[in-house]
Amino acid sequence: RSPSASKPDSVRKISASVSMCMGSGRWIEPLGEWYDRIQGSALLMDASFLEVDVAAIRRNYRRLRDLVGPQTRICPVIKGNAYGMGATEVGRVLQQAGASMLAVYDANEALEVLDAGVRCPILVLGPDPCYLRGSNLRGYCNEGRVHFTVHGLDHWHRIRCVLTPDVTPIPL
């Protein structure tokens, strides 16, 4: 069934489905003919969206909490903008649900989440923060809100060079 021009929401939902099907290499009929008609149009370019069920995130966190028990600390990973769902929004939900710490890819992602008001500590999984001199990263480190994963001695030296003498001790 072709989407009606008077129902832009249904167009967005169908075109998002088509573009996801095309991206996976699968073709779903009867959307194929409709996709051929609009391919390359602005409609398809601006039509994707993602609906996130916040209650499901809370429910999944609680299930994990029930499985591991109250004594185990949980550190959900929200790197890559929470896999496209919105790192600050998902971070707030997980913090409210009781997450002990959140993990991100790099210091830029950590700053984005912390600057948006998330209060729980952030673990940086990826590269060193060498490009963040002069940012408020040092302050967050001194507050114990940013921790780093060290991948080797060279990595440790790069982190130390960026953060010292302002940050002591460096949270790892």
Q: Between 116 and 5, whose confidence is greater? A: 116
pLDDT for res 167: 73
Three-state SS at 104: strand
CA atoms within 13 A on the CB side of 82: 19
pLDDT for res 72: 93
pTM of the model: 0.69
* Residue 116 in this model has a pLDDT that exceeds 90: yes
Chain mean pLDDT for the chain: 75
Q: Exposure pattern of 68-86 as b/e (b: 16+ CB <10 Å)?
A: eeeeeeebbebbebbeebb
* Residue 27 in this model has a pLDDT that exceeds 70: no
The answer to whether the beta carbons of residues 13 and 47 sit under 8 Å apart is no
CA distance 106 to 86: 15
CA distance 141 to 135: 11
* Residue 89 in this model has a pLDDT that exceeds 80: yes
User: Can you tell me the mean pLDDT for 22-38?
Assistant: 45
CA atoms within 13 A on the CB side of 125: 12
The answer to whether the beta carbons of residues 43 and 57 sit under 8 Å apart is no
Q: What is the pLDDT of residues 43-82, one digit of tens each?
A: 555 556 678 888 999 999 999 999 999 999 999 999 988 8
Q: Between 38 and 85, whose confidence is greater? A: 85
The answer to whether the beta carbons of residues 43 and 9 sit under 8 Å apart is no
pLDDT band at 21 (very low <50, low <70, confident <90, very high): very low
The answer to whether the beta carbons of residues 130 and 154 sit under 8 Å apart is no
Q: What is the pLDDT of residues 117-170, one digit of tens each?
A: 999 999 999 887 766 656 788 888 888 899 999 989 988 888 888 777 777 787
* Residue 19 in this model has a pLDDT that exceeds 70: no
CA distance 151 to 29: 48
Nearest to 79 by CA among 121, 120, 115, 125: 125
Q: What is the pLDDT of residues 101-112, one digit of tens each?
A: 999 999 889 999
